[in-house]
Amino acid sequence: MSVNIGMISFAHMHAASYAASVSANPDANLVGISDADCERGKQVAEHFETAYLQSDEALLDAGIDAVIICTENVGHKEKTLLAADAGKHVLCEKPISTSVADAQAMIDACESAGVQLMTAFPCRYGPAYIEAKKMVDAGELGDILAINGTNRGRNPGGWFVEPELSGGGATIDHTVHIVDLMRDVTGDEVATVYCEMDKFFNPELKCDDAALITMDLTGGCIAALDCSWSRPPHYPIWGDATMCIIGSGGNVWVDLVSEKLNLYQNEESSYTWVGYGESIDYALVADFCSCVEAGAPVPITGSDGLKATEVALAAYKSAEAGSKVTLPL
């Protein structure tokens, strides 16, 4: 039995990878795509050889089991509630929402409807992270004392730099992935957040593009994260995702994009990195589809999405106040 998947919006850049992952999965069918941008929707539907439906309601009524939501961040709540009301399972792009209240409303709606809500955190499926977590779980590193993380990338432009659509800037865009890994690998929650934030690389922006965050976790671990859009336009790849996990019995370095080839071309951006190995987006989508088909709980919940987003929102509060912020908000 195959899982029938629909996609709501291709506003987010990850949508294409998720659609390709559904198409490549022998146990899933990409039934159709709805998108408020009609031209974009028709183009991607043609590319993925599926149907374009002019409304979300039509997509939800097209015999699908679940949806993948890739709207602008501010649209996640509306589309999730719509899907839940139609009895469809949801895989929602990160950050799950732009407020704690909206995230909770999404969680409550899906619970009430008896459908799954999974947050798109593909970094959990990185082979390097999986091996590091095995080491931590086996006690090889002893007590986890500190974690230093980075998720530095290019400024994506577009709606990502429009706070009314994105909910912020680099901080809300790049905090959640690594914070989710920190929570997952330690089993602890973030207790306090302190953030230094600025429009450092492009002062003309309406949002932040640089931030350094320090955190205290409930188990005693201290953590730091650089979530800046600090990579230049012609950097060989979009950015990085790393963690240095420091334990009482050893340290481990995690680099989620280290499997790459160097590619040189006679073009303006002549040097690029071409990744190889397993696709973490494919693994994410395949796990979601498997859970939907089996009726099993998803491994990355809406609550996981809320907790990670809450740290980003606390960072904005901390930067504004110039002081440490205590969680939960």
Position 269 pLDDT exceeds 80: no
Q: Is the pLDDT of residue 1 over 90?
A: no
Architecture label for domain 124-279+309-326: 2-Layer Sandwich (3.30)
pLDDT value of residue 267: 75
Give one DSSP letter per residue of 99-126, joined into a string.
Answer: SHHHHHHHHHHHHHHT--EEE--GGGG-
Please give the average per-residue pLDDT across 204-211, as a whole number. 98
Task: Work out the pLDDT band at 222, boundaries 50, 70, 90.
Answer: very high
**At the top level of CATH, which class does the domain 3-122+281-285 belong to?**
alpha beta
Give the 3-state secondary structure of residue 149.
strand
Query: What dihedral angle (degrees, nearest 10) is formed by the CA atoms of 63, 67, 73, 79?
Result: 40
| 268 pLDDT above the threshold of 80 | no
Q: What is the per-residue pLDDT for 233?
A: 87
Domain borders along the chain are 3-122+281-285, 124-279+309-326
What is the SS3 assignment for 15?
helix
At residue 234 the predicted structure's pLDDT band, cuts being 50, 70 and 90, is confident
Determine the 3-state secondary structure of 78 from DSSP.
helix
For residue 235, what are the contacts with CB-CB under 8 A and spacing of at least 6?
154
pLDDT digits (tens, 9 = 90+) for 4-29: 999 999 999 999 999 999 999 999 99
251's enclosing H/E stretch is: strand 250-255
Question: Residue 105's closest CA among 76, 65, 127?
Answer: 76
Per-residue model confidence (pLDDT) at position 265: 87
pLDDT of 151 above 90:
yes
Cα 159 to Cα 172: distance, rounded to the nearest angstrom: 13
The predicted structure's pLDDT at residue 4:
98
Q: How far apart, in whole angstroms, are the C-alpha atoms of residue 59 and residue 40?
A: 16
Q: Is the peptide bond before 127 cis (omega within 30 degrees of 0)?
A: no
Average pLDDT, the chain: 97
**87-96 pLDDT tens trace:** 999 999 999 9
Strands 210-217 and 190-198, sheet pairing: antiparallel
Give the residue-averaged pLDDT of 71-92: 98
How is 215-227 classified by DSSP, letter by letter?
Answer: EEETTS-EEEEE-
Contacts of 267 (CB under 8 A, 6+ apart): none
pTM of the model: 0.96
